[in-house]
Amino acid sequence: MRLTRRAFSTSLASLCAMPALIGRASAQTATIKIGMVAPVTGPAAESGRYAQIGAKLAVEAVNKAGGVLGKPVELLVEDDQTTNPGVVLAFSKLAAQSDIIGFLGPIRSTQVHALAPDALKLAKPVMIGGTDPNLTHMGNPWLFRCRPNDSYSGSVIADFGINTIGKKKWAIVHSTDAFGTAGGKALAGALDKAGATIALDQGYTNQSQDFTPVVLAVKQSGADILGSYFTFENDNGIFARQLRQLGVTIPYIGSASITNATALKLAGPALYGTYGVADYAEESSDAAKAYGKLYRDTAKVAADNQSSWTYDAVNVLALGINKAGSTEPGKIRDAILSIKGYPGAEGEYNFDANGDGLHGYNVVKNEKGIMVFDKHIESKD
Amino acid sequence: MDLALQLLFTGFGIGAVYALVALGFVLIFRATNVVNFAQGEFSMVAAYLMVVCAVDLELPYWLSFLIALAGMALLGIVFNLGVYYPLRNRSFLPVIIATIGASIFLSNAVLALYGPQPQALQGWFDTPGIQAGPVYLDSQYLLIIGVTLLLVLFQYWFFEHTLLGKKMQATSQDKEMASLLGIKVSSMIMLTFVYSAVLGGIAGILVAPVLFVSIQMGSTIALKAFAATIIGGFGDVTGAIIGGLALGIIETFGAAYISVPYKDGFAFLVLIAFLVFRPQGLFGERVAEKA
Amino acid sequence: MSALAQPTRSVRARALPGMLAYIALAALATAAAFLAPVDDYILHILIETATYAIAVFGLTVVLGLCGQINLAQAAFFGFGAYAVGLGTVDLHLNFWVAILLGGVLVAVLGALLGLTTLRLGGHYLAMVTISFQQIVTLVLTNWIAVTHGPDGVASIGRPLFFTSSHAYLALCVLILALVGTLVWRLPQTRLGRAMRAVRDNELAASVAGIDTYKTKVAAFALCAVLGGLGGSLFAGGFAYVSPDQFSFSESIVFLTMVLLGGAASPIGALIGTTLLIVLPETLRFLKDRPGEYLAIYGLAVILIIRFMPDGMWGFIKSLAAAWMRAPPFTEPAPELMLAPAASSATDVLDVENLAKYFGGLKAVDGVTFHIKRGGVHALIGPNGSGKTTTLNVLSGLYTPSAGKILLDGRDLTALAPHARTAAGLGRTFQNIRLFRSMTALENVVIGAERPGGPAYKSGDELILHARAALAFVGLEARAQDLVTSFSYGHQRLIEIARALAGNPTLLLLDEPAAGLNSTEKHELRDLLKRIAAKGLTILIIDHDMTLVADVAEQITVLNFGKRIADGRAADVLRQPDVIAAYLGSEPDAPAHA
């Protein structure tokens, strides 16, 4: 008699079914449930931690203001392990709970792509933080973006560099992952449209350890202004340091990571005087200031975009449900899309038909280690 | 020309880092015939120990350095007892997997204890660097190159001119014979692990101000260091040094003149070329199996 | 612990219901997968488990069976996934066509990787596979024109009739069952035996007639194909692939799965895969402190490797070993037929001016001798005279620096070891080289199925012949025992039986008496005489002068790599320079008639 693996796997399968069955047997609750997939483990664990803090602050705020449809909001978080299969599993685990009204999705665009088919099937609203422009242009009506996408960051960097700083010969440095490649493309496109010259378009692999070749390429290109899309703060820090060491002093506008607390701490003086486009800038609006204070009181450090978008996402979702007056997904969708002029921490939300809530970026300047708000540029597209 | 000089310096600098870590690999391999996949994590743990002592507890730099190295010696002992020693008579594969498990354990234990945020560590010198003509010499890289040189000299003296060093060499070349000659093999191996861990620790602490302290800092370097070891010749210490330096230069020049995104690929292409055409590396010996 | 393919009729009859039961269970599982009222979450887990398990089966083949390390399985998984992704989305190919094309691609790549095993093993092979993996990840990420780069490929469709998740899972389970059968059966096939021999003792395998290089390449190709198949099904299951999923760390995950479950068996692979996918899901409650869960995981890996070296399934099997013994044979073993090839050449072996230099050392320096058909010929000489080197050159383990070797008039000088075995050479080793994971019978079967050896009409006949060889050396009663359970002397006899089973033209025995006590030496002497009586030619190297004087008719003496005597045994042993070569020790041989 052989112990066949079929017997083994089928019994294991039934074992797996247990938690799901038990989960569903929970009694009728008097809360409005929102599901959140976040990287609790894996390379993006840090970002996941901030995301959770932001979301939880929003839940408290919403509940203090009376909750949603008269009931308190409850947040359920599942770890997506920073992997694609992981986010699918985390999302489908939450999706199995039919009493979850809406979801907070990932900030990584590849992970959003991974769960998109399931989101489409489930037909419930998912608030996302990924900035790949395609996410709201692929025919999925259930994704609502609470950060301005990369086509906007590109055009804002270009706009600020050309019109405010006044330089037209650009060097672009970007990471070769999904975020960096999309961002680099967006910036290059915006520059082309504005008639500027691209002297260098240089990709690099994440966790590069040494950026001398890149810095020298920038130097050699003769560019008089630099735009960058860095994914990881340690890469950004090493790059900035080597940039200064090798004597490159041209104006430098970076994507949001250049403004993050970690980057500032790591790179120190190397980043003084640089600009960043940040979806979250504390001085950019009253709502941003309020959020900044709230976050600092709780977390003891300054807020950044890794938490502000989830804060906004919960608030927007709550607003949508309240506006719809029901938990029916179709009505919530219409309600969210009709939100105009909502003052979020990231900016003023005016949802367009694709589900993009924000269309501009803040430009901030690093004044000796303090991020100072310069201006907000709303994209014309 | 200026470009090439700057690239050469940086290549040497990063190459010296690979060489330092490769030294640790080679030593353990020679003594135990085991490739330690957790070697990179040794560097990472030491860097975190430095951060805890020098940054969080604000102890003086030199004291933190000593404490960190002591911690690494302890880690070497625990590693030997927990991972290598129980598996020493098995084939190489279980040991490889065990060291991989150790590497996962170490990086996640640090993650659980300290959190995922990368940290900055101050360099040894206050001046960040010197401008020597057209070339900028990062002071920490100078330190790395200098220390690597010193360590190589120290190692040469230790292994060739002290009794203890010779005993360790004997053990690494032929365990059975060494024990028959009265050398306590298990102590020699313990010493090898301790020394390797401390070496890895020094590498991590030296590199941390330049690359920042993060959970992944060890693994990215270790793989390249392993490649350097093979290019140099797996049994040979000199080979590891030269392999490391060569790799750093190949990478840097390859990135500058061929392609930045494929930079990591050059190391592996060179490695494959060596493995296919000259597996004994630049300096290693051909190993024939006894029929 | 294993049973051979088709032993006696009674055991085969027993295997049939086992096969039927397996088919029934597989059908049941497929139906269950299709009908079970579970939600998407469970379906996703199961699809992930099934597709990963198929890839891990690949590692069962290359690592568990063939003993070669492959740290690039994620690369092959990725190729299969991208083949389906790009094939269906960009090229609008049919799903099945895409899988097929992907399969061909990975088979070629896997074989290429296997080619590197010609010169490399162990750590070096590990490093080559790691490098291959890293380069693949870089290419997938950066060759945007073809692979879509880091954005990955989205909206991957499923094949017709299998679009619902339930149906797709059923498909995966079905394919898993099919593939699982193949991997389950593989160890008992000729290729599978060859792989296991290569894993256990590559040198002995090549000398037993196995083309070890081709075997390793085949193992790699098979591993790659299974990896690609798993990846292709994964792509259809999850509809989205991106390069960051197919990295070195994923290869480590695959490797860990196969080792934890038990590398040598597909059941082990399935256990390992299930554990490492399902466990994190059930341990979600531990996720509050990042890193804690994975730290425990790393620790678990170390502990399992330490305490369960054969993985969990190996551990379970060892517990159940007692009642999993194969049943004894019912038919008695026949008489061993040894029919050396008929040939016109008078001499079986011609060694002409053979030389082997190691740098400056002339181990063998222009040695010539001829071995006549039938009977026992001894090659003796003091330590360091070049006897074993000569033997190694004869069997092809060393290439000669000069000279020629002719077996039955056929030039063997340039042939690889397994080719020489195919030509009719058989040999045993001074340090016994048996395949330690196999039974006595399996060891001898490998010898029996050497290329160029006797032809068998069926698997049953092969087994009978092998049993005959074992009976000839007196060990047939314990044919199904693992070789490690035999005494040293008996292991030597099994090695001889393995060589005999291939019906060799010439049998080379390297120090067969080494390590034997006097009783065992008597048995050996009798055995040698019985072998000679069958008409086989034997070349024996040994130090034991009593044995040599007793069995050898002709003796060739070497000293310092040169031949110093050659002729009838009695004459040679009386020659003064032979005696002097042994430094005055008088051979205590009685006058030999």
Q: Which of residues 91-120 of B touch C (CB under 8 A)?
A: 92-94, 96-98, 100-106, 108-113, 115-116
Point out the residue among B87, B94, B108 whose CB comes nearest to the CB of C298: B108
Question: Is the domain of C359 the same as that of C483?
Answer: no
Q: Which chains touch A (3 or more CB pairs under 8 A)?
A: B, C
Question: Is the domain of A219 the same as that of A366?
Answer: yes
Which 3 state secondary structure label does DSSP give A167? coil
Question: Is the domain of A272 the same as that of A163?
Answer: yes
Q: Is B54 on the interface with A (CB under 8 A)?
A: no
Dihedral (Cα; B204, B205, B207, B209), 10-degree rounding = 140
CA atoms of A79 and A38, how far apart (whole Å): 5
C452: domain range?
434-504
- Please say if the pLDDT value at position A2 is more than 50: no
pLDDT in tens, A285-341: 999 999 999 999 998 888 888 899 999 999 999 999 999 999 999 999 999 999 999
Closest CA to A122 of A339, A354, A333: A333
Contact: A20, C141; criterion CB under 8 Å: no
Whether residue C265 lies inside any domain: the answer is no
Q: Is C42 on the interface with A (CB under 8 A)?
A: yes
Provide the domain count of chain C.
Answer: 3
Contact: B268, C306; criterion CB under 8 Å: no
Which 3 state secondary structure label does DSSP give A114? helix
Sign of the C-alpha dihedral, residues B160, B165, B167, B170? negative
Whether residue B78 lies inside any domain: the answer is yes
Tokens coding C27: 């059908």
Tokens coding C584: 């005055």
Whether residue C438 lies inside any domain: the answer is yes
Question: Is the domain of C222 the same as that of C371?
Answer: no
Q: Is B234 on the interface with C (CB under 8 A)?
A: yes
Closest CA to A287 of A321, A322, A315: A315
CA atoms of C541 and C379, how far apart (whole Å): 5
Question: Is the domain of A134 the same as that of A164?
Answer: no
Tell me what pLDDT residue C588 has. 59
Whether residue B186 lies inside any domain: the answer is yes
Contacts of C280 in chain A (CB under 8 A): 81
Question: Is the domain of C450 the same as that of C574?
Answer: no
Residues 6+ away with beta carbon under 8 Å from C432? C488, C491, C492, C495
Tell me what pLDDT residue C302 has. 83
Among C485, C504, C523, the domain boundary falls at: C504
Provide the domain count of chain B.
Answer: 1
Q: Is C589 on the interface with A (CB under 8 A)?
A: no
Closest CA to A151 of A165, A137, A166: A137
Point out the residue among C41, C152, C284 whose CB comes nearest to the CB of A113: C152
Which 3 state secondary structure label does DSSP give B201? helix
> What residue ranges in C107-181 does DSSP mark as E strands?
none
Whether residue C484 lies inside any domain: the answer is yes
Point out the residue among B10, B115, B216 whose CB comes nearest to the CB of A207: B216
Tokens coding B11: 């290549």
Among C248, C282, C308, the domain boundary falls at: C248
- Please say if the pLDDT value at position A17 is more than 50: no
Whether residue A1 lies inside any domain: the answer is no
Tell me what pLDDT residue B128 has. 80
For residue A299, count CB atoms less than 10 angstroms from its CB and return exposed for 0-12, middle for 13-18, buried for 19 or more: middle
Whether residue C172 lies inside any domain: the answer is yes
Q: How many CA atoms lie within 13 A of A63 on its CB side?
A: 15
Tell me what pLDDT residue A27 has. 40
Question: Is the domain of A92 the same as that of A194?
Answer: no
For range B276-290, the mean pLDDT? 63
Contacts of B141 in chain A (CB under 8 A): none
CATH number at residue A158: 3.40.50.2300
Closest CA to A305 of A33, A119, A21, A50: A50
Tell me the pLDDT band of C4, cut-offs 50, 70 and 90. Answer: very low
Residue A321 CA: distances (Å) to CA of A62, A337, A341: 12, 12, 17
- Residue linked to tokens 């021999």: C197
Question: Is the domain of C87 the same as that of C114?
Answer: yes
Contact: A9, C270; criterion CB under 8 Å: yes
CATH number at residue C415: 3.40.50.300
Q: What ipTM did this prediction achieve?
A: 0.82
Question: Is the domain of C488 the same as that of C518?
Answer: no
- Residue C312 neighbours by CB distance under 10 Å: 18
Tell me the pLDDT band of C583, cut-offs 50, 70 and 90. Answer: low
Contacts of A46 in chain B (CB under 8 A): 115-117
Question: Is the domain of A244 the same as that of A366?
Answer: yes
A231: domain range?
152-278+362-378
Dihedral (Cα; B189, B195, B196, B197), 10-degree rounding = 110
Q: Is B261 on the interface with A (CB under 8 A)?
A: yes
Question: Is the domain of C356 the same as that of C490?
Answer: no
Q: Residues of chain C with pLDDT > 90: what percent? A: 24
Contacts of C142 in chain A (CB under 8 A): 176, 203
Whether residue C138 lies inside any domain: the answer is yes
Question: Which has more pLDDT, B89 or C468?
Answer: C468
Tell me the pLDDT band of A1, cut-offs 50, 70 and 90. Answer: very low
Question: Is the domain of A76 the same as that of A195?
Answer: no
Question: Is the domain of A193 the same as that of A125?
Answer: no
CA atoms of C512 and C431, how far apart (whole Å): 9
Question: Is the domain of A263 the same as that of A202?
Answer: yes
- Residue linked to tokens 């074989």: C111
Q: Are A128 and A145 in contact (CB under 8 A)?
A: yes
Whether residue A340 lies inside any domain: the answer is yes
B174: domain range?
13-218
Question: Is the domain of A106 the same as that of A239?
Answer: no
- Shortest distance, CA B216 to any CA of chain A (angstroms): 9
Question: Is the domain of C199 the same as that of C150?
Answer: yes
Among A31-40, B229-238, C218-227, C374-383, the minimum mean pLDDT is found in: B229-238
Residues 6+ away with beta carbon under 8 Å from C328? C480
Question: Which has more pLDDT, C287 or C169?
Answer: C169
Whether residue B77 lies inside any domain: the answer is yes
Q: Is B14 on the interface with A (CB under 8 A)?
A: yes
CA atoms of C216 and A373, how far apart (whole Å): 63
Question: Is the domain of C362 the same as that of C479?
Answer: no
- Please say if the pLDDT value at position B116 is more than 50: yes
- Please say if the pLDDT value at position A350 is more than 90: yes
Please state the pTM of the whole predicted model: 0.82
- Shortest distance, CA B1 to any CA of chain C (angstroms): 30
Whether residue B246 lies inside any domain: the answer is no
Whether residue B212 lies inside any domain: the answer is yes
Question: Is the domain of C218 the same as that of C104?
Answer: yes
For range C541-558, the mean pLDDT? 87
Among A214-228, A264-278, B205-219, C324-338, the minimum mean pLDDT is found in: C324-338
pLDDT in tens, C378-418: 998 888 888 888 888 988 888 889 999 998 888 888 888 88
Contact: B256, A217; criterion CB under 8 Å: yes
For range B43-58, the mean pLDDT? 93
CB environment B188-206: b (16+ within 10 A), e (fewer): bbbbbbbbbbbbbbbbbbb
Whether residue A7 lies inside any domain: the answer is no
Question: Is the domain of A114 the same as that of A67?
Answer: yes
Whether residue C377 lies inside any domain: the answer is yes
Q: Is A43 on the interface with B (CB under 8 A)?
A: yes
Tell me what pLDDT residue A61 has. 94
- Please say if the pLDDT value at position C11 is more than 70: no
What DSSP state is assigned to residue C584? T
Q: Are A9 and C28 in contact (CB under 8 A)?
A: no
Among C447, C469, C504, the domain boundary falls at: C504
Whether residue A63 lies inside any domain: the answer is yes
For range C95-114, the mean pLDDT? 92
Question: Is the domain of A238 the same as that of A374?
Answer: yes
Question: Is the domain of A60 the same as that of A100?
Answer: yes
- Shortest distance, CA C296 to any CA of chain B (angstroms): 7
Provide the domain count of chain A.
Answer: 2
